[in-house]
Amino acid sequence: MRLMCRKLRTDVAPERALAALGLRAKTLGSAPPAALCGEWFSSRAVIALCASPSPVRNVAEAFAIPTRLPMVRDAVPGAVGGGWFGYLGYDLTDPSHRSGELPPAAWGWVDRVLRLDLDGSWWFEALLADDDPDPVGEVSAVESLLDEPLETTRWNSGPLSRPLPSEHYDAVKACVHAIEAGELFQANICARFTGEFDGDPIALFAEGVRCLPARRAAFLSGEWGSIVSFSPELFLARHGRNVRSTPIKGTLPRRNADDDHLAQRLRESTKDVAENVMITDLVRNDLGRVCATGSVRVPELLKVRPAPGVWHLESTVEGLLADGIDDADLLAATFPPGSVTGAPKIRALDLIAELEPTARGVYTGAIGLASPIAGLELNVAIRTFEIHDGTIALGVGGGITADSDSEAEWQECLHKSAPLERLLG
């Protein structure tokens, strides 16, 4: 297989490109596009012209699919080309075996992408059989499409229904009691907000990309429904044998660009710092299971970074995969992400199943792309809408430690959901 790259003569924004490709798919009756926007593969956006992710219900198969990549000759540095677009839902490994509305996992192969590089240039990239001609006509058609007048599409959604705050308080208190009893150090306890949805999920994602600076935004759609993710968090980036994870733990509301004093408060918070350090250690241990001895390190600890509506504490863990380890082994060692489960992870998974009344669905799983050229990148599926059959769901939650206060934890959920609820409304 070979790679073809062509630079396009357009400077449209990623949300404009995605919307145009969405209308093209409707006109042609083809599969919708898929998209990664923000900070992905050292680019600002990677958009598949069309993607048809198929449901996967077996854990081993879901982890194995991203490893099935062809050899590509004449690869260009920085290119993505295509690969497996998809997601791994939290339900895939939920010990309670509960299931949300969407399949536990889905992957789809794509061989045509548009990539917006860091300099603002768009590239048409294609993975082609060695004897296939270059799709010159397709490149010209897409280039013209991006600059045509665009019909506006919208969506309708009423206010999201929330569980009673007392239900979340009770779950938090029960988790604190388990921590005090020595069962675990931390667990992530979540709630699920739901509502009605009518309209175009691509329009929702495009508007969110325009007004919410999410670093790891992702859009996927299929016959099973749509996923609209505005995640700020990197779960895994694997380039060659180098692997990196950037867990987020620790949150305070962010009211404007000048509230740096809140960022300092977050850095000095005993509870938030303890949350982050515990999960960073868990991620370090997870990667240590599949990385070469002595290669795992923490180059960045407790960095304060902004996200839509909040400040976060994040750390970075990196390592070098051991010989013979592939992406299936990497996912088996690290999924679901430590930042949205707890420590120790196995006990946290069981406690989550006991305390949360509904399945998480895709929420707190991972979404992204495995490319034969660029490697693997997955977000943590937080700040993520799940759309299915006229309904929309949003999961929110936070890490619970021995110092957690039930009311403060509920308010954290509301701070995290607020920008997304405003987007819907």
pLDDT tens per residue, range 136-151? 999 999 999 998 988 8
Within its chain, how far is the Cα of 425 from the centroid? 23
Residue 160 scores a pLDDT above 60: yes
Residue 65 domain flag = yes
What number is the average pLDDT over the span 326-330? 98
328 in a domain, yes or no? yes
- Segments forming the whole domain that contains residue 32: 1-158+195-241+321-336+360-395
Residue 21 lies inside a defined structural domain of this protein: yes
Tokens encoding 274 = 């303890």
pLDDT at residue 309 in the model: 87
Q: What is the mean pLDDT of residues 165-187?
A: 98
Residues 416 and 309: beta-carbon distance below 8 Å: yes
Token output for 322: 């051991």
User: What integer pLDDT is reported at residue 138 of this predicted model?
Assistant: 95
Number of domains in the chain: 1
Residue 256 pLDDT > 70, yes or no? no
> What integer pLDDT is reported at residue 265 of this predicted model?
87
**Which pLDDT value is given to residue 74?**
83
Segment 59-95, tens digit of pLDDT: 999 999 999 999 998 889 899 999 999 999 999 999 9
Q: Are the beta carbons of 252 and 262 closer than 8 angstroms?
A: yes
pLDDT at 151: 84
Please, which residues have CB within 8 angstroms of residue 356's CB and are 6 or more apart in sequence? 171, 189, 190, 191
- Annotated catalytic residue: which of 15, 39, 125, 249? 249
Give residues with Cβ within 8 angstroms of 135, minimum separation 6: 4, 112, 126, 128
CB 1 within 8 A of CB 129: yes
- State residue 342's pLDDT score: 97
In this prediction, residue 257 carries a pLDDT of 56
At 93 the three-state DSSP class reads helix
- Considering the domain boundaries, does residue 368 fall inside one? yes
Residue 92, domain member (yes or no):
yes
* CATH number assigned to the domain comprising residue 373: 3.60.120.10
| 43-48 vs 112-117, strand pairing mode | antiparallel
pLDDT of residue 255: 73
In a domain, 341, yes or no: no
Report how far residue 15's alpha carbon sits from residue 368's, in angstroms, rounded to the nearest whole number: 17
On the question of pLDDT at 282 being above 80, the answer is yes
Average pLDDT on 267-275 reads 91
416 among known catalytic residues: no
> Has residue 298 been placed in a domain?
no
Q: Which of 15, 125, 233, 275 is catalytic?
A: 233
Q: Does pLDDT of 402 surpass 60?
A: yes
Residue 410 belongs to some domain of the structure: no
Q: Would residue 377 show up in a list of annotated catalytic residues for this protein?
A: no
Interval 225-240: pLDDT, tens: 999 999 999 999 999 9
